[in-house]
Amino acid sequence: MSETHLQKIPLLPKEVLHKFVSDYFNRKHTYQAAVEKHGSPLWILESSVLKEKAGQFSNAFNQYFNKTSFYFAMKSNNHPDVSATLLEYGFGLDVSSGEELKTALALNANDIIFSGPGKTNKELSLAVQHKDRTIILLDSFSELEQLKALVSRSDFTHPVRVGIRLTTNPNGLWRKFGILPEKLLTFWNQVKDLSNIQFKGLQFHSSWNLTPDRQVEFIVLLGTILKNMPEDFNNSIEFIDIGGGYWPEEGEWLQSAGTPEGIYNAAIGKDPGPLDVHYRIPGTPIKTFAQTLFKAIQSHLFPFVNCRICFEPGRWICHSAMQILFMVTDKKANDLVITDAGTNAIGWERFETDYFPILNLSRPSLQENPCHILGSLCTPHDVWGVHLFRR
């Protein structure tokens, strides 16, 4: 790739950034009081924001669809209070491991979907034990065999409810998820006559959707498959779960090092780019997602199935509901500070490429100054950011 072929990412408009930052400065007393009470560093969960987001998301889709269910993808934030708040709001839970399933069960969730590849026997057994509250989204033919073996000696009055996950992209690393849509008929023939296992629906999921394009593309493909499926199969479908992956509306905020140009420059040994600007790949309002996805589903799927549509939003729901608060423990220069938290609290070296505003709550200002804000871990990659909003 040459420099001239690089896609230019637009700048993050100052007015968008300032509105975002001032909303948090307006709540600074709440944050400061929380740190005084509980100490630093501190994660803070704003349940009201969580509920507001859950409401915005479900309202957007319920405006178009008659039958819906919403499942919070617990892996996007597995703090039990996040799930508990969303359960209160009427969401179900989408779990992707035995630990998440245990958490969901302990929270008394009664509408759980268990998705993800490579489920162990132990995990499947737990799901079977709680089959009144759990739908298993099978990831492969061998997982169906595994489940069949598990329930072969049972005689259930209510069978285990299952769905099947479909592969959205047969190439690259996403091929690890689900079965190919072309294999649906084979799958149906293996599942339709089982007495302890009952097929209920389909799932697919693609991530990082800044627009609905990729989801629509798969819905169109699925329509061509359903068109050729036997009627008893299409009639057995009670739900189609179209997954999560909705990027929050504010779009993707990047440091220059996270832009194609910055990555290119780094690869040829040049500076990634100016540090005093931020970039934004624009997002899509959730209402637009809802309208576009409804149109696609109405044209391509509803001619063949009459079913509930399920959603598995993760980050769209929880992203803006949690903040991390920390303090400066050492000021080594006017533009270099060390904080009492490290980015292991986040889990990856995210802020080297992604831009998240850092606000000095003690000295609020809409003026952003260059400053290395680095954590206390023994690695130079422990970076919170290279700018600070402060007086």
Ligand X SMILES: *Cc1c(COP(=O)(O)O)cnc(C)c1O
CB nearer to ligand X: pick between 164 and 386: 164
Phi, psi at residue 330, to the nearest 5°? -145, 125
CB nearer to ligand X: pick between 75 and 295: 75
CB nearer to ligand X: pick between 311 and 326: 311
User: What angle is formed at CA 364 by the lines to CA 390 and CA 253, rounded to 5 degrees?
Assistant: 65
Rounded to a whole number of angstroms, the minimum distance from the CB of residue 377 to ligand X is: 26
Residue nearest to ligand X (CB): 314
Rounded to a whole number of angstroms, the minimum distance from the CB of residue 318 to ligand X is: 8
Q: Which parts of this chain interact with ligand X (CB under 6 A)?
A: 73, 75-76, 94, 96, 115, 205, 207, 243-246, 312-316
CB nearer to ligand X: pick between 248 and 273: 248
Query: What is the full DSSP assignment across 322-371?
Result: EEEE--EEEEEETTEEEESS-GGGTTS-GGGTB----B-TTS--S-EEEE
Rounded to a whole number of angstroms, the minimum distance from the CB of residue 43 to ligand X is: 18
CB nearer to ligand X: pick between 100 and 368: 100
Rounded to a whole number of angstroms, the minimum distance from the CB of residue 316 to ligand X is: 6
CB nearer to ligand X: pick between 18 and 319: 319
**What is the number of other CB atoms lying within 10 angstroms of the CB of residue 312?**
27
Rounded to a whole number of angstroms, the minimum distance from the CB of residue 141 to ligand X is: 19
Query: What is the full DSSP assignment across 120-173?
Result: -HHHHHHHHHTTTTEEEEE-SHHHHHHHHHHHTT---SSPEEEEEEB-S-SSGG
Instruction: Answer whether 389's CB lies under 8 Å from 18's CB.
Output: no
How would you class 374 by CB atoms within 10 Å of its CB: exposed for 0-12, middle for 13-18, buried for 19 or more?
buried
CB nearer to ligand X: pick between 25 and 65: 65
Instruction: Answer whether 130's CB lies under 8 Å from 160's CB.
Output: no
Q: Where are the beta strands (DSSP E) in 176-273?
A: 197-203, 239-241, 252-254
Rounded to a whole number of angstroms, the minimum distance from the CB of residue 212 to ligand X is: 13
Rounded to a whole number of angstroms, the minimum distance from the CB of residue 387 to ligand X is: 26
